[in-house]
Amino acid sequence: MDDVFPSLRHGGGSLPAGAESRAHQGGRAGLHAADARPRVWLFAAFDRGVASFQWVDRVSWIASYNIEYFVGVDGISIAMVLLTALLCPICVLASWGIDQGVKGYFALFLLLETGMLGVFVALDFFLFYVFWEVMLLPMYFLIGIWGGARREYAAIKFFLYTFAGSVLLLLAMLVLYFGSAPHTFALTELMQRTSGFSVETQHLLWLALFIAFAIKIPVFRSTPGCPTPTSRRRRRSR
């Protein structure tokens, strides 16, 4: 599953210091297209006749809390990995108008892409939460620096709004962790231990997770009439 994260290896280093030209932006688009190849291979090689997770990597991370680097894909997540791999080069081309701070922009974009891929392959709830929050920081700066009109306000609104969903997700994760015996964040094991929770608790956990994910998507806007964080994007000027 290491081939899922080539973007993290590239970082912003593939752009030399001060690189701001269209040629470098075109090179970045080509690099993203090349990064998509291992993910396309994963999708093509996925065995659709097997119901279990495939290409699983499981390594102890924080042993004292039974936290693991635990990743793998099933039929749904592999489709999301492929979709992310196909959309990111398109997003790079859509960023053609960015002519200031190009290196910082694409470094944040690569971090965002890594977070998106991580949430689709994580099978440890704590690891999933890390990837979930990793997406928040680059989005905040991408909106606040390269966004459209009222971008600072939109970035702060985005951060506070999604942070509320993160708190609900964290609470649900901790309830599942401390409610399991032995304590674990492994999603494959938590799915088999639902009998340890009352029906009322399961309903509350479902509601908390639903609201957290609905905020992140987002299913609904935070304040009617306010600019959405990614609306009216324009080229940053000094």
Q: Where are the domains of the chain?
A: 1-134, 151-232
CA dist., res. 48 & res. 46, Å (int)? 6
State the pLDDT at residue 228: 55
State the pLDDT at residue 238: 44
Q: Which two tokens stand for residue 236?
A: 């940053």
Higher pLDDT, 232 or 195: 195
DSSP secondary structure, 45-63, as one string: H--TT--S-EEEEEEEEEG
Q: What is the pLDDT of residues 112-150, one digit of tens each?
A: 888 999 999 999 999 999 999 998 889 999 988 888 788
State the pLDDT at residue 26: 53
What is the pLDDT of the chain when averaged over all its residues?
80
Give strand ranges (E) for 4-78.
Answer: 54-62, 67-73
State the pLDDT at residue 102: 81
State the pLDDT at residue 5: 62
* pLDDT band (50, 70, 90) for residue 154: confident
Q: What is the pLDDT of residues 174-229, one digit of tens each?
A: 999 998 888 999 999 988 877 778 889 999 999 999 999 998 877 766 544 445 55
Amino acid in the structure at residue 134: V
Q: Which two tokens stand for residue 4?
A: 């899922």
